[in-house]
Structure 1
């Protein structure tokens, strides 16, 4: 296991193939998940790419630090990790809040970013009222109280069946996250808005979404792509909010043409 101590947090991270000199993809995860959500993507792309993964503060094996967080906290953690690894000009792939972290990383440290994959995300997600309501619900009943509605947004009905062991594992992954870390990141999402920064993105950018995403629907992700000069847009059929888990083959197939041009 690898850990990095930043200014005010200890971040759990993993690398694959950095010694090979292959182009690097740095991943940023969604709310309530850890970096294992990218395992199937890495398996399919490891012949051509190297990887950096990390658990956001308050998630996985990274420590809680001082919640609630700002988006800038998450951005600085990712920048610190890439600096620690002496990496520049990486392809940054962020899902949901990870996509907002990716946008913030480009806005503050464009030297680190070669291209962006903004997956199931937007320039602004939800409303303050929505996020405050979710924070209150977690304080009262923990993450378990929101398990079913979260899973309905994350995955399509055919995936959410008792016989699907991967679905069961995803439920366990969410339930094992820190309630304080989850709600702390809800606060970061509540206060983040990259609407003004998106038109200044000047690197190749792919915005991708599951066709049945209940958290960041296709129209919202399309609106982000429309803000970005030259922004591309792709839809993964038969997927909800986490297509890299639900439809990894289709997800990677949608990424390949973009990666071939951006690497």
Structure 2
């Protein structure tokens, strides 16, 4: 079942399309720094994952193919045929799925703090059950050190609170269903099929998708480049936007 996604659009309607896919437990606001940079030159489309932000909550488990199908349905409804894509964490996994599902439509891909298989797959089913029972608030304390470093949170408390508010606002079922998609995701044996020129970005201090996990993607995708952002954890596009934007600009061009 395809979910109706909430999305935001910025930039010239006739420009090249850049689709931005968010991390688990965040919403379109995660990409405010990228919109500020790219809406001058691209038609930027940001979406909320199913069950996140303003998107429809669809009960039950789903797969990464389902989440990619949601994005394609959105793009089809807006008349978008060819596009570039950048995604963070699960958004990067959706980008991989799109590259494998519709290679003729994807021009370039950027994968930020993501993996071809996420750490400890069975734990994601456990997390899903925990969130269904206790809500997303139970995970908020662990985001410091995962999404961003404690040092960054001390230096940017308002920005940290803004990101944590996204987690608190995420419906439990939406978060849990996407956890199950993450736990079932494994395209390690298909990375060589990704034909789109691909940029890989890792946070040097990311405990969730480590530098080595992101490097595996770079080593396995044929036409790829790899960047590490010093001082960044799992949401480098939000916490270290200048460095990430520069890498994205170099990859996607003007």
Residue 192 of structure 1: CA displacement?
0.9
Let me know the Cα RMSD of the aligned residues: 1.6
Detail structure 1 runs of 4+ shifted over 3 Å in the superposition. none
Asked whether the 8 Å contact 1:37–1:245 carries over to 2, the reply is yes
Q: Does 1:214 align with 2:188?
A: no
For residue 82 of structure 2, the aligned residue among 59, 77, 89 is: 89
Unaligned runs of 5+ in 2: none
Q: CA deviation at 1:107?
A: 1.1
1:162 Cα deviation from its structure 2 partner: 8.3
TM-score w.r.t. length of structure 1: 0.92
Change in Cα spacing, 1:130 to 1:52, as seen in structure 2 (3 Å) is same
**Kept after mapping to 2: 8 A contact 1:87/1:112:** no
Match of 1:12 in 2: 6
Residue of structure 2 aligned with 1:28, choices 4, 17, 21: 21
Which residue of 190, 195, 198 maps to 2:191?
198
Residue 172 of structure 1: how far off its partner (Å) = 1.2
TM-score by length of 2: 0.95
Alignment coverage as a number of residue pairs: 254
With over 3 angstroms needed to count, the CA separation of the structure-2 counterparts of 1:230 and 1:9, relative to structure 1, is closer
Deviation at residue 80 of structure 1 after TM alignment: 0.9
TM-fit CA distance, 1:132:
2.3
In structure 2, how many angstroms separate the alpha carbons of the residues matched to 1:46 and 1:231? 24
The one of 95, 106, 109 aligned to 1:102: 95
**Alignment map for 1:215-254 (pairs within 5 Å):** 215-254=208-247
CA distance in 2, matches of 1:96, 1:32: 11
1:60 Cα deviation after fit: 0.4
Higher alpha-carbon deviation: 185-194 or 84-93: 84-93
Shift of 1:18: 4.3
- Alpha-carbon separation, structure 1, partners of 2:134 and 2:103: 40
Q: CA deviation at 1:150?
A: 2.6
Native 8 Å contact 1:236 1:254 kept in 2: no
Match of 2:159 among 163, 166, 180: 166
The structural deviation recorded for 1:197 is 1.7
C-alpha contact (below 8 Å) 1:138/1:145 kept by paired residues: yes
Contact 2:11 2:41 in 1 (8 A): no
Question: Structure 1: 5+ residue runs without aligned partners?
Answer: 1-6
After TM superposition, the structure 1 stretch with the greater mean CA deviation from structure 2, 130-139 or 243-252, is: 130-139
Shift of 1:212: 0.9
Q: Which residue of 2 aligns with 1:4?
A: none
Instruction: Give the one of 56, 59, 62 matched to 1:66.
Output: 59
Q: 1:112 pairs with 98, 105, 118, which one?
A: 105
Q: Distance in 2 between matches of 1:206 and 1:51?
A: 18
Moved more, 45-54 or 33-42: 45-54
